[in-house]
Amino acid sequence: MDLKLSGHNVIITGGTKGIGRAIAETLASEGCNVGICARSEDDVTSAVAALSEKGVKVTGKALDVADGDAFAAWIQEAGEALGGIDAFVSNVAGSNAPGDEGWISQFNYNILSAVHGVEACKPFFKESTNPSVVMISTTAALEHFMNAGPYNAMKAGLLNYSGALSQELGAKGIRVNAISPGPIFIEGGSWDKIKQGMAPFYESTLATIPLGRMGTAEEVAAQAALLISPLGGFTTGTNVVIDGGMTKRIQY
Ligand SMILES: NC(=O)c1ccc[n+]([C@@H]2O[C@H](COP(=O)([O-])OP(=O)(O)OC[C@H]3O[C@@H](n4cnc5c(N)ncnc54)[C@H](OP(=O)(O)O)[C@@H]3O)[C@@H](O)[C@H]2O)c1
């Protein structure tokens, strides 16, 4: 299937590793020009070089998305360098620090950075024929998982913002969707670390997944590509759960 993504310009936060990197790779393979950011300058440089090999325009910057001014300035810069912005993928999450620090971090990184990203992209969306936003949430926002903590709560807030925004921006032709992945196994990523350091928890989580395995970053990226594609042009306000059946609620 031709996703008709060639020539789209997409901004992805946290595009050097894990799910964000897989989204950038998948979109670049489909002919999208991509803009990525992350905190590590070395990782941004090497990711930009690797993505550029796909023959698309790539721009990247080392920054912390919690620095609202620097983040907005970069989106402006990236939009100008790419020649517009058709889609924004908000992919960064916060830290699991204990106490208030963790709550503030998860708010800043999951919600406020998504809000700032959307606001900075809006002027570019006016010029796009297929503008959209994809928010990366988690199944931990949908059902009780691990603890009553800020990560789950702020990801749930992100889903509420995403759905409400789809209503608000629909009249402007801007689609807003979310993806809630279950456990995604990425070499060197969080579930790899859990497998090494907390094997019983890893195994007990795996046992709750009917498909009998964790997901891949590429499986999440493929869904992001479909949501951004003009072929997903009537899809807005949805939350796509990609979890191998881990969440037990019945979806209607
Ligand atoms: N992995 C899973 O099982 C899973 C499941 C459900 C949902 N998710 C969600 O998927 C998203 C990506 O997770 P992941 O596992 O792929 O993470 P990851 O492998 O740790 O990658 C995170 C990416 O974001 C960048 N980043 C982190 N903090 C940043 C900041 N403050 N400013 C700019 N860039 C930042 C990282 O680079 P730097 O460190 O250099 O900044 C890296 O490129 C998150 O929202 C997470 O909650 C993941």
Q: How many angstroms is it from 171 CA to the middle of ligand 1?
A: 31
Which residue's C-alpha comes closest to atom 34 of ligand 1? Answer: 38
Q: What is the 3-state secondary structure (H, E, C) of 162-228?
A: HHHHHHHHHHHCCEEEEEEECCECCCCCHHHHHHHHCHHHHHHHHCCCCCCCCECHHHHHHHHHHHH
Mean pLDDT for the chain overall: 97
Atom of ligand 1 nearest to the CA of 15: 43
208: in domain? no
The residue annotated as part of the active site, out of 151, 161, 202, 252, is 151
| CB of 181 shorter than 6 A to ligand 1 | yes
Per-residue pLDDT, averaged over 226-249, amounts to 98
1: in domain? no
Q: How many angstroms is it from 181 CA to the middle of ligand 1?
A: 12
User: What angle in degrees, to the nearest 10, is found between the helix axes of 68-82 and 113-125?
Assistant: 30
| CB of 92 shorter than 6 A to ligand 1 | yes
200: in domain? no
**Residue 2: what pLDDT?**
96
Range of the domain at 25: 9-184+217-242
Per-residue pLDDT, averaged over 146-157, amounts to 96
37: in domain? yes
Per-residue pLDDT, averaged over 126-149, amounts to 97
Q: How many angstroms is it from 221 CA to the middle of ligand 1?
A: 13
Record the tokens describing residue 80, joined without a space.
């100008």
Sequence-ordered strand ranges (E) for the chain: 9-13, 33-38, 58-62, 87-90, 132-136, 175-181, 239-242
Substitution candidate for ligand 1 out of 19, 91, 219 with most atoms within 8 A of CB: 19
Q: For this structure, is 151 an active site residue?
A: yes
**Residue 252: what pLDDT?**
85
Instruction: Name 136's bridge partners.
Output: 179
120: in domain? yes
| CB of 40 shorter than 6 A to ligand 1 | yes
Q: How many angstroms is it from 122 CA to the middle of ligand 1?
A: 24
Residue with the two structure tokens 């700032």? 116
**Residue 152: what pLDDT?**
97
**Residue 235: what pLDDT?**
98
Q: Whole-prediction pTM value?
A: 0.98
Record the tokens describing residue 34, joined without a space.
């991509």
Residue 252, amino acid: Y
Taking a C-beta distance cutoff of 8 angstroms, is the pair 163, 225 a contact?
no
In whole angstroms, what is the distance from residue 158 CA to residue 160 CA?
A: 5
> By C-alpha distance, which of 161, 62, 166, 67 is closest to 114?
161
pLDDT tens figures, 107-122: 999 999 999 999 999 9
Given a cut of 90, whether residue 251 has pLDDT beyond it is: no
Instruction: Name 183's bridge partners.
Output: none
Per-residue pLDDT, averaged over 101-108, amounts to 96
Q: How many separate domains does the chain show?
A: 1
Taking a C-beta distance cutoff of 8 angstroms, is the pair 210, 244 a contact?
yes
pLDDT tens figures, 10-60: 999 999 999 999 999 999 999 999 999 999 999 999 999 999 999 999 999
Name the strands in the sheet holding 132-136, side by side, starting at the edge strand that comes first in the sequence.
Answer: 58-62, 33-38, 9-13, 87-90, 132-136, 175-181, 239-242
204: in domain? no
Per-residue pLDDT, averaged over 70-98, amounts to 97
Per-residue pLDDT, averaged over 228-247, amounts to 98
62: in domain? yes
pLDDT tens figures, 155-207: 999 999 999 999 999 999 999 999 999 999 999 999 999 999 999 999 999 99
Instruction: Name 60's bridge partners.
Output: 36
Taking a C-beta distance cutoff of 8 angstroms, is the pair 213, 244 a contact?
yes
Given a cut of 90, whether residue 151 has pLDDT beyond it is: yes
140: in domain? yes
Instruction: Name 35's bridge partners.
Output: 11, 59
For residue 135, the SS3 value is strand
CATH code at position 123: 3.40.50.720
Which residue's C-alpha comes closest to atom 47 of ligand 1? Answer: 93
